[in-house]
Each structure stands twice: as structure tokens, then as C-alpha cells.
Amino acid sequence: MTEAPLLSVRGLAKHYQTRGATLKILQDISFDIAKGEVVGLVGESGSGKTTIGRSVLRLIEPSAGAVVFDGDDLTTLSGGELRRRRPRMQYIFQDPYASLSPRMTIGEILTEGLKIQGIGSRAERLERARKALEQVELPPDAINRYAHEFSGGQRQRIGIARALTLAPDFIVADEPVSALDVSIQAQVVNLMRDLQQRLGLTMLFISHDLAVVEYICDRVIVLYLGRIMEIATSEDLYARPQHPYTQALMSAIPSPDPDLARKREILKGDIPSPANPPSGCVFRTRCPKALDACAAAVPQLREVAPGHVKACIRDDIGYPEP
Amino acid sequence: MPASPSSSGPLARATGRFLLNRAALVGVALLLPLLAAVLTYPLWMPYRPNDIDLLAMNAAPSAAHWFGTDGVGRDVLARTLEGGRISLLVAVSSVVLSTAIGFLVGAVSAFGGRFADALAMRSVDLAMTLPPVIFLLVLASIVGSGIWSTVVVIALLSWPVLSRMIRARLLELREREFVMASRGMGAGIGHLLFRHGLPNSIDILVVYATLQVANAILLEAGLSFLGLGVPPPAASWGNMLNAARSTAVLEQYPWQWLFPGGALVLAVLAINFIGDGLRDAFDPRVDLN
């Protein structure tokens, strides 16, 4: 990558102060996304995926760190300056039921962003709403209906259309298909991939579904308890996972071939509480390959292959041979 | 695609549910003729409310004076209708005022950050801890009597409850994803408040306003009865009752308090029926059945 990345996240952290404890939801998150790239963000429930997605767009305020979007640090912008840049970056929500207002027609929902930004006349805005509906393969007469008249998959398409009306460069897609039926998931994932390629979108794709991530993403970030464990291109990550956590995740992907019954690594226990994370490497309490040294210091991300970084002190664990 | 050809919004569905509520329809059936009579009486009444018929003082109901006359020979029907005008005017304007105050205080509280929230809610606490009757008496004696000061007094007394309900609703709304989506598109506080806050609080506002109209009619009557509300010779239901409070009138000329009192009870009852009906109609749980 010679070109400057479109999005550059440095040392992002999010802490919540509760009575008697500080919840460290995110710590020291740094990554880049190049223009036109689709980066996956995977991790189990509670690892902080959604918090990253929302902090990056400053829908919630990060506690520390910088989010540089096309040269501007979003975390230091004033409210008005941030609002002017909002159209360039949009968010697609996980829950297609909660993310559409029950009191607005689809037309009102789709023209809301344009109206806020003062773009176009009423007729022009409606025209753009119709175009957005077309892009997500919904009929134009949907414009006068209410969200409750649509199925989950259709609602998610409306959510995607809403993000597209402002013609963004960058989209954070927060588990856009995990609330949908499996049969609908493929449609929506394909739609998102088409749109990404056709419109040249840059995307942060949050998911816990490793198969979907492999299909749609160029690079993947693996998250555990608010820290990055490993970053690699999807190809590299799925073929040669280097971090014990990623290896455990990969072995959990069901294989359609019963003869190829892989040796499964089942992780013991649950993800620890962010109020009291383990010292050193946060994964060491569940890691099958942990050493005493793992408790001593937080492992830094280091390059183990070109474009492939991991936060693990062990070099002697390659990837498990099939 | 959904089968239904016509789209109905949440408001249309609430209206449909309201029309199925029998008590609420009875309320409407009582209130509409009353309102019509109160609003149109100058067109068909032969008497003005302050016309004095010296030949018929304290006259019992008759063909000439359907509701009888009072101690100085004024027609009780004309005064009851005029009193209805004043009472309803006072009630409706005070409710408009208190709804606006309540909504804005609740909105500032929910969207204005921690400090504004604390300030607004402590003033609500303060307003609610004051004993209402004494508060009313003090306020009324400061601003004096008269129609508009009565409106102000009633409004200042009734907004705190609404602002708490609005705050609770908006706090919940603020975390909803469609509101976050709106913020993500660059919405400022004005847009959030009037495009999301207001439509999503409309049920609270309508129900509050309706029930509060009934409450305000009673408060006005109470104030006027104590001599602090609408001053005579203007008629209001409250000061008509006040004028009829002597034992002699109570016993010998019951029409002088029976009719304004009856109109008052009827109006309050009808409005309460309607308010209950609206509350049920807006209840989202009804849709689950």
C-alpha cells in the first residue's frame, strides 16, 4: 500500500466507569483500511466488535485514540464539522427491526439523511430514494409503506438503501445478516458484495460468521476481549492462522465433508469479564498453548509473514496441518 | 410483498382501535353536543349571559328560562353555556401551555446532557413537592385573578408530571438504533427532537392533554369557587357554583347550581372517557393480540 489509507485507527480505547470498576471494553485498537478494501472484524459476543464500529464513526465517544478518516481526525472534530462529514461514512445496523423508525414511511426514512444535509429539493430527494430502492432490488412503490409491512430481509435492504442515499465512501456494516434467516443471508451478502464492487465502497464488515467474512472480506481482524489478536488477508488467515485463538475459531467452522473430520480445538470456559481482564495476554486463561511468560506482558502485534500480524509471543506454533 | 394494498401508519391504526372503544365513543357523543351548544349559543339563545330580567329573579325553570334564573334575574342556561366557553377556554389554553412546557423541559432533560438533566429534574422535583393547593393560592394571589392568570396558574401547576414522562420516553428513544442512524447522518438536536422525539411521544402527549383538560376544568372551577379564578360578572362553571353556595340558594333554588355543576361533571366525565380510550388506542401491546 503506497497510498494513504482511507481510514486509520490508532490506539482506540473505550472504557466505561461503573461503580467500583472500570470496564475496559476496547484497548489499544490500531488498524488501517485502504480505499476500496473490505476488512472483516470477527470475534465472539462481548469482544467489542460493535463498540469498534460505533466508535470509528463516533456514534459513541471513544475514551482515547485517534480515528483518521481521509486526513481528518474524527475524534477532535467539532459537532458541526463532524456532521458535515457524516454523509461520507455510514452505518448499517444489525437489527433490521430496531433500526427503522416505526412512525416513518420508507420514503421518509430514505430521504431523512438528504433532508438533514440539505441536499436537493423534495422531488430530487424522492428520486434518490427510489434509486436507492432500486439498488437494493426493492420495488419503488415501497416508498409509501411503513417498515412493519416488510420482512426482515427486506427491512435490512432498506437499511442498506438508507446508508447508500448519502453516497458514502465508507460503510461500517455491523453484522448485517446475523439477524436474518439463513436462506435470506446469502441474498443480502451477495447484494452487499455487488454494491461494494459496483460503487467501489470501502467497508468495515463486522461479523461472527467466519464463512461470510471469508467470502466478502479482503482482510480480517480477529478480536478477543477488546484487543486485536491477529490481522491477515482472508486467504492467509483461513489457510494459515497463526494465533492460537484464531486457530481455535477456524477449527470451529463446520466442515461439509465428514471424512475430513478435523481435530477440533474446543476452548474451555467463557470470555473473561472486561472489568477484570487477565494480566499479560488476555487470551492466556483459555489458550491451550499458554506459557508462564504469557502472564507477564501484553503481547504486541508483530509481523509473522508479509501483511500478517499477530499478538502472541510464541513463534513455535505454526498452523495445524489438515 | 405485503398483501394489504393500503398502508396504514401507526396513527391510523390507533384511530381504528379508538373507534372500537364503546366508552370512548359515549364520551365523544356526550362531548360533541356540549361543545356545539357552548360554541354556537349566541346564534340561537334569546338571552345574553349578563342580561337581567328584573321580573324573574330566582325564577324556576320555565318555558321562557329553561334552566331558570339566578338571584339578579340572569338566565342560567345562557350563563352555563358562557361559563362552558370560559371554562373550556381556560382549560384548553392552560393545557396547551403546560404541554409545551412539559415537553420542552423533558426534551432538554433527555437530550441536553448531564448538567441540564440534573437542573431540569431538580426543578421538577421542587415543583412537585410544593403542596398544590397552597402553591395555587400563592400563585393566584401573586398574579391576581382573571382568565389569563388562571390559565398561567393551572399550566404552572401541571407540567412537571408530563416532563417526567417525556424525559423517560426520550431517554429510551435516544438509544434506539433508528435514532442513532439519524445521528449518523448528521442530525442535530432540533431534527432529533421534532422528527423522532415528537412523533414517538405523541401518544403520551395526546393522552396527557386530554386527561389534563378534564383536570384543568376542575382546577379552574376550584379556583373560581375560592374566588381566585375567573372573576364575576364573567361566567364560569366554577364562579357560578361559588355564587350559588349560600344555604338558601342550595335549598330553594337548586337549578342555580345543579345545571352548571351538571355540565361540569358531564364534560369532565366525557373527556376522561375519551382520554382512557386514547390511552388504550395508543397502547402498543394491543397490537400483539
Q: Work out how many domains chain B is built from and give that number.
A: 1
Does B65 fall in a domain?
A: no
Range in A46-55, A171-180, A290-299 with the lowest mean pLDDT:
A290-299
Size of interface A-B (CB pairs under 8 A): 75
Q: What CA–CA distance (Å, rounded) separates B190 from B198?
A: 11
Cβ-based contacts of B177 with chain A (< 8 Å):
93, 95, 98-99
Does A25 fall in a domain?
A: no
Q: Which residue of B lies nearest to A84 if distances are taken between CA atoms?
A: B186
pLDDT of residue B1: 39
pLDDT score of A149 more than 70: yes
Q: Which of A146, A155, A160 to mutate to test the interface with B (most CBs of B within 10 A)?
A: A146
The residue with greater pLDDT, A164 or A3, is A164
Q: Which residue of A lies nearest to B180 if distances are taken between CA atoms?
A: A59
Which CATH number does the domain housing residue B251 bear? 1.10.3720.10
**What are residue B194's phi and psi, to 5 degrees?**
-95, -25
Three cell numbers written together for A317? 506454533
CB contact under 8 A, B185 and A117: yes
pLDDT of residue B4: 43
pLDDT score of A154 more than 70: yes
Closest Cβ opposite residue B181 in set A82, A91, A102? A91
What is residue B145's three-state secondary structure?
A: coil
pLDDT of residue A133: 93
Q: Tens digits of per-residue pLDDT, A87-98?
A: 999 999 999 889
Element of type H or E holding A155: helix A152-165
Q: What CA–CA distance (Å, rounded) separates A162 from A253?
A: 33
For residue B102, give its domain range. Answer: 26-39+74-284
Cell 447508500 identifies what position?
A164
Q: Beta strand pairing status for A170-174 and A202-207?
A: parallel
Cell 508483530 identifies what position?
A302
The mean pLDDT of A261-266, rounded to a whole number, is 66
pLDDT of residue B179: 93
The residue with greater pLDDT, A116 or B229, is A116
pLDDT score of B287 more than 70: no
pLDDT score of B43 more than 90: no
Cβ-based contacts of A83 with chain B (< 8 Å):
186-188
Does A133 fall in a domain?
A: no
Nearest to B12 by CA among B282, B289, B285, B288: B282
Q: How many CB atoms lie within 10 A of CB A254?
A: 7
Q: What CA–CA distance (Å, rounded) separates A112 from A138?
A: 18
Cell 420516553 identifies what position?
B169
Element of type H or E holding B204: helix B198-225
Does B140 fall in a domain?
A: yes
Does A300 fall in a domain?
A: yes
**Using 50, 70 and 90 to split pLDDT, how confident is the model at A194?**
very high
Q: Which residues pair with A67 in a beta bridge?
A: A9
The mean pLDDT of A29-50, rounded to a whole number, is 92
For residue A298, give its domain range. Answer: 242-258+266-322
What is residue B129's three-state secondary structure?
A: helix
pLDDT score of B22 more than 90: no
Cβ-based contacts of B183 with chain A (< 8 Å):
59
DSSP state of A309: E
Nearest to B73 by CA among B84, B82, B83, B64: B64
Q: Say yes or no: B233 contacts chain A, CB-CB below 8 A.
A: no
Q: Say yes or no: B113 contacts chain A, CB-CB below 8 A.
A: no
pLDDT score of A134 more than 80: yes
Closest Cβ opposite residue A103 in set B177, B182, B199? B199
Cell 480505499 identifies what position?
A35
CB contact under 8 A, A116 and B182: yes
Q: Say yes or no: B190 contacts chain A, CB-CB below 8 A.
A: no
Cis preceding-peptide flag for B233 (omega within 30 of 0) = yes
Q: Tens digits of per-residue pLDDT, B139-195?
A: 778 877 778 888 888 888 889 999 999 999 999 998 899 999 999 999 888 899 988
Nearest to A307 by CA among A32, A11, A28: A32
Cβ-based contacts of B191 with chain A (< 8 Å):
116
pLDDT score of B9 more than 50: yes
pLDDT score of B2 more than 50: no
Range in A47-61, A308-322, B116-130 with the lowest mean pLDDT:
A308-322
Does B54 fall in a domain?
A: no
Cβ-based contacts of A54 with chain B (< 8 Å):
180
pLDDT of residue B142: 83
The residue with greater pLDDT, B267 or A264, is B267
CB contact under 8 A, B181 and A93: yes
Does A172 fall in a domain?
A: no
Please say whether the beta carbons of A69 and A85 come within 8 A: yes
Q: What CA–CA distance (Å, rounded) separates A237 from A245?
A: 12
pLDDT score of A26 more than 60: yes
Does A34 fall in a domain?
A: no
Q: Which of A82, A92, A94, A116 to mutate to test the interface with B (most CBs of B within 10 A)?
A: A116
- ipTM confidence score: 0.87
Q: What CA–CA distance (Å, rounded) separates A107 from A143?
A: 4
Does B8 fall in a domain?
A: no
pTM of the model: 0.80
Q: Which residue of B lies nearest to A153 if distances are taken between CA atoms?
A: B1
- Taking all residues of chain A, what is their mean pLDDT, rounded to a whole number? 88
pLDDT of residue B17: 83
Q: Work out how many domains chain A is built from and give that number.
A: 1
